[in-house]
Amino acid sequence: MKYDYDLFTIGAGSGGVRASRFAANFGARVAIAEERYLGGTCVNVGCIPKKLFAYAAHYHDDFEDTHGYGWSVNQPAFNWATLIANKDKEITRLNGVYERVLKSANVEILHERATVVDAHTVSIAGRQITAQHILIATGGWPVKPSMPGAELGFTSNEAFHLDTLPGRIVVVGGGYIAVEFASIFHGLGVDTTLVYRGERLLKSFDAELGTFLGEQMQTKGVKILFQRNITSIARAGSLKSTLTDGSTLESNGVMLATGRAPNAHGLGLENAGVKLAENGAVMVDKNFQTSVPSIHAIGDVTDRVLLTPVALAEGMVVADRLFGKGARTVSYDNIPTAIFSNPNVGTVGLSESEARGRGLDVSVFKSKFTALKHTLTGSKERVFMKLVVDKRTNRVLGVHMVGPDAGEIIQGFSVALNCGATKQQFDATIGIHPTMAEEFVTMRESAA
Ligand SMILES: Cc1cc2nc3c(=O)[nH]c(=O)nc-3n(C[C@H](O)[C@H](O)[C@H](O)COP(=O)(O)OP(=O)(O)OC[C@H]3O[C@@H](n4cnc5c(N)ncnc54)[C@H](O)[C@@H]3O)c2cc1C
Whole-angstrom distance, CA of residue 12 vs CA of residue 375: 47
Q: Is 37 in the pocket of ligand 1 (CB under 6 A)?
A: yes
CB of 330 closer than 8 Å to CB of 298: no
CB of 44 closer than 8 Å to CB of 87: no
What is the CB neighbour count within 10 angstroms for residue 300?
A: 31
What per-residue confidence (pLDDT) applies to 173? 98
What is the CB neighbour count within 10 angstroms for residue 332?
A: 9
Distance from Cα 300 to the centre of ligand 1, integer Å? 7
Q: Is 308 in the pocket of ligand 1 (CB under 6 A)?
A: yes
Residue 387 CB partners (closer than 8 Å, separation 6+)? 364, 365, 366, 396, 398, 399, 400, 423, 426, 440, 443
In 3D, which of 271, 29, 48, 36 has the Cα closest to residue 137?
A: 36
CB of 182 closer than 8 Å to CB of 194: yes
Distance from Cα 42 to the centre of ligand 1, integer Å? 5
CB of 413 closer than 8 Å to CB of 399: yes
Lowest mean pLDDT among 226-235, 325-334, 355-364, 417-426: 325-334
The string of pLDDT tens digits covering residues 180-236 is 999 999 999 999 999 999 999 999 999 999 999 999 999 999 999 999 999 999 998
Q: Identify the bridge partners of residue 383 per DSSP, sorted by sequence position.
A: 369
The string of pLDDT tens digits covering residues 118-168 is 999 999 999 999 999 999 999 999 999 999 999 999 999 999 999 999 999
Mutation test of ligand 1: which of 138, 339, 340 has the most ligand atoms closer than 8 Å to its C-beta? Answer: 138
For 204, phi and psi rounded to 5 degrees? -90, 5
Question: DSSP states of 358-377 as a string?
Answer: TT--EEEEEEEE--TTHHHH
Whole-angstrom distance, CA of residue 258 vs CA of residue 178: 8
Q: Is 421 in the pocket of ligand 1 (CB under 6 A)?
A: no
pTM of the predicted structure, to 2 decimals: 0.97
The string of pLDDT tens digits covering residues 6-49 is 999 999 999 999 999 999 999 999 999 999 999 999 999 999 99
Residue 136 CB partners (closer than 8 Å, separation 6+)? 10, 11, 116, 264, 267, 269, 274, 282, 290, 295, 296, 297, 298, 301
CB of 397 closer than 8 Å to CB of 360: yes
The identity of residue 79, as a single letter, is: N
The predicted model gives 246-266 an average pLDDT of 97
Told to judge if 433 belongs to the known catalytic residues of this protein, a careful annotator would answer yes
Q: Which helix (H) or strand (E) holds 220?
A: helix 207-220
Question: DSSP states of 41-90 as a string?
Answer: HHHHHSHHHHHHHHHHHHHHHHHHHHGGGT---------HHHHHHHHHHH
Mutation test of ligand 1: which of 45, 109, 269, 308 has the most ligand atoms closer than 8 Å to its C-beta? Answer: 308
Name the active-site residue from 60, 67, 265, 433.
433
Residue 404 CB partners (closer than 8 Å, separation 6+)? 343, 344, 371, 373, 381, 383, 436
For 17, phi and psi rounded to 5 degrees? -65, -45
